[in-house]
Amino acid sequence: MSEVDEKPYREIVSAQDPAQVDTWAADLFIDFAKRLGVGRAIAAFCEATGLDARGFQRAFLVGGGPDHVVGIDTAGSLAAPIFELPKAIAGLRRIDPNAQAKLIDFLVHHREVMSYTA
C-alpha cells in the first residue's frame, strides 16, 4: 500500500458532500474493525470525534443502533458488532453540528487503514 499524503487527501475529502464523507467513514470504520479489532476502531473513532464511551453509546443509539449490543470486551474496550458501527456516524450527524469536520479528521488520521477496491 502506498502512503497517502495528508494535505492532498484532506483537500479531496473536504470537497465531498456529507453523504460521501459518511459513506467513506463507514467503510473506514468497518475496515478498521476487521483489520485491527473493534475496540481499536471504536477508540480511533472516539478520539477523532471527541466522544467518550457514553458519547459513543449515545451516537450509536441515536443513529439507530440497537441498545443491547454495545458493551465492553475482555480487554476493557468498547465493543459492538462490526456491521453496526456505522450507526455511530449517523448518530454523530444528529447530535453534533461539527460532525462533518470530525468525520473528515477520522478519515484523514486513519487513511492508512482504508482499503481501496475497484
pLDDT in the model for residue 75: 86
pLDDT tens-digit map of 10-48: 999 999 999 999 999 999 999 999 999 999 999 999 999
For 74, the domain range is: 6-109
Chain segment 73-90, per-residue pLDDT in tens: 888 889 999 999 999 999
Given a contact cutoff of 8 angstroms between Cβ atoms, the answer to whether 1 and 35 are in contact is no
Position 114 in a domain: no
Q: What is the pTM of this model?
A: 0.89
Residue 64 placed within a domain? yes
Q: Is residue 1 part of a domain?
A: no
Number of domains in the chain: 1
Instruction: Give domain status of residue 88, yes or no.
Output: yes
Is residue 25 situated within a structural domain? yes
Nearest-angstrom CA–CA distance, 118 and 90: 25
H or E element that contains 79: strand 78-79
Q: Please report whether residue 90 resides in a domain.
A: yes
